[in-house]
Structure 1
Amino acid sequence: MSRTLSEPAPHETAPAEPPKPTRRVLRIGRLVAIPLHPRSIVIGLVLLVVLLAAAAATVSLGRLGIPLARIPAALGGEGEATHLFALERLRGPRLVVAAGTGVALGLAGALFQSVTRNPLGSPDVIGLAAGAGAGASVAALMLPGIVPVPLGALAGASLSIVIVYLVTGTGLRDPGRLIIAGIGVAAMATAFTHFVVSVMARDEAGVLASYVNGSLTARSWDHAATIWVAVALAVPFVLALAGPITVNEMGDELADSLGASATTTRTGAVVLSVVLSAAAVSVAGPIAFISLTAPQIARRLSAAPGPNLLLSAVVGALLLVCADLVVQRSPVGDGLPVGVFTMALGGVYLGYLLIREWRKGTL
Structure 2
Amino acid sequence: MNLGVRSAPVSSATPGTPVASPPFPVLRLGRFVALPLHRRSLVVGLALLVLLCAAAAATLSLGRLGVPLTQLPAVLSGRGEATHLFALERLRGPRLAVAAGTGIALGLAGALFQSVTRNPLGSPDVIGLGAGAGAGAAFAALMLPGIVPVPMGALAGAALAVAVVASVTGTGLRDPGRLIVAGIGVAAMAQAFTHFVVSVMARDKAAVLAAYVNGSLGARSWDHAATVWLALALAVPLLVVLAGPVALNEMGDELADGLGARASGTRTAAVVLSVVLSAAAVSVAGPIAFVSLTAPQIARRLSAAPGPNLALSALVGALLLVSADLAVQHAPVAEGLPVGVLTLAIGGVYLGYLLIREWRRGRL
Instruction: Mark yes or no: TM-score above 0.5.
Output: yes
Distance in 2, matches of 1:91 and 1:226, equals 17
Offset from partner CA, 1:94-151 (integer Å, 9 cap, x none): 0010000000000000000000000001001100000000000000000000000000
Asked if the contact 1:32–1:242 (Cα under 8 Å) also holds between the matched residues in 2, the reply is no
Per the TM alignment, residue 204 of structure 1 is displaced from its structure 2 partner at its CA by: 1.1
C-alpha separation between the residues in 1 aligned to 2:72 and 2:31? 42
Which structure 1 residue ranges, 4+ long, deviate > 3 Å from structure 2? 200-203
Looking at structure 2, the residues matched to 286 and 262 of structure 1 have their Cα atoms a distance apart, in angstroms, of 30
* 1:112 partner letter: F
Deviation at 1:22, TM superposition (A): 2.3
Partner of 2:259: 258
CA offset digits 1:31-80 (Å, max 9, x no partner): 43322100001100011000000000011110111110100111111111
Q: Output the CA distance in 2 between the equivalents of 1:280 and 1:135.
A: 13
Structure 1: tracts of 5 or more residues without a match:
1-18
After the TM superposition, which of the residue ranges 331-340 and 152-161 deviates more from structure 2? 331-340
Q: Secondary structure at the match of 1:118?
A: coil
* CA drift at 1:242: 0.6
What is residue 70 of structure 2 aligned with on the other side? 69
Q: Residue 187 of structure 1 corresponds to which residue in structure 2?
A: 188
Match of 1:125 in 2: 126
The answer for the alignment partner of 1:355 in structure 2 is: 356
How many Å separate the matches in 1 of 2:71 and 2:110?
A: 37
* Residue 138 of structure 2: aligned partner: 137
Within a 5 Å distance, the mapping from 1:198-347 to structure 2 comes to: 198-347=199-348
User: 2 CA distance for matches of 1:95 and 1:116?
Assistant: 32
Secondary structure of the residue aligned to 1:234 is helix
Paired with 2:272 and 2:34, the residues of 1 have a C-alpha distance of 20
Q: TM-score, normalised by structure 2?
A: 0.93
Contact 1:33 / 1:240 at 8 angstroms: preserved in 2? no
Share of identical aligned residues, percent?
80
Q: Identify the residue that residue 14 of structure 2 maps to in structure 1.
A: none
Question: Contact 1:32–1:241 at 8 Å: present in 2 too?
Answer: no
Q: Give, in whole Å, the separation in 2 of the partners of 1:290 and 1:345.
A: 10
**Paired residues, number:** 345
Equivalent residue number for residue 36 of structure 1? 37
Instruction: Kindly name which structure, 1 or 2, has the bigger radius of gyration based on alpha carbons.
Output: 1
TM norm structure 1: 0.93
Task: Report the 3-state secondary structure (helix = DSSP H, G, I; strand = E; otherwise coil) of the residue aligned with 2:71.
Answer: helix
Task: Tell me the alpha carbon deviations over residues 6-37 of structure 1, each in whole angstroms, 9 at most, x when there is no partner.
Answer: xxxxxxxxxxxxx7852332121234332210
Question: What are the superposed Cα offsets for residues 243-268 of structure 1, whole Å, 9 maximum, x if unpaired?
Answer: 00111111000011111100000000
Taking the aligned partners of 1:77 and 1:192, their CA distance within structure 2 comes to 45
Q: Distance in 1 between matches of 2:325 and 2:35?
A: 31
SS state of the match for residue 219, structure 1? coil
Q: Alignment partner of 1:69: what SS?
A: coil
CA contact (8 A) 1:33 1:242 kept: no
Residue 59 of structure 1 pairs with residue 60 of structure 2: yes
**What is the match of residue 80 of structure 1?**
81
Gap regions ≥5 residues in structure 2: 1-19
Q: State the one-letter code of the partner of 1:277.
A: S
Alignment partner of 1:64: what SS?
Answer: coil
Counterparts of 1:20 and 1:149, CA distance in 2: 50
- SS of the residue 1:259 aligns to: coil
- 1:68 aligns to what SS in structure 2? coil
Partner of 1:27, secondary structure, is strand
Match of 2:153 in 1: 152
Output the CA distance in 2 between the equivalents of 1:336 and 1:310: 29
State how far apart, in whole Å, the 1-side matches of 2:162 and 2:61 are. Answer: 41
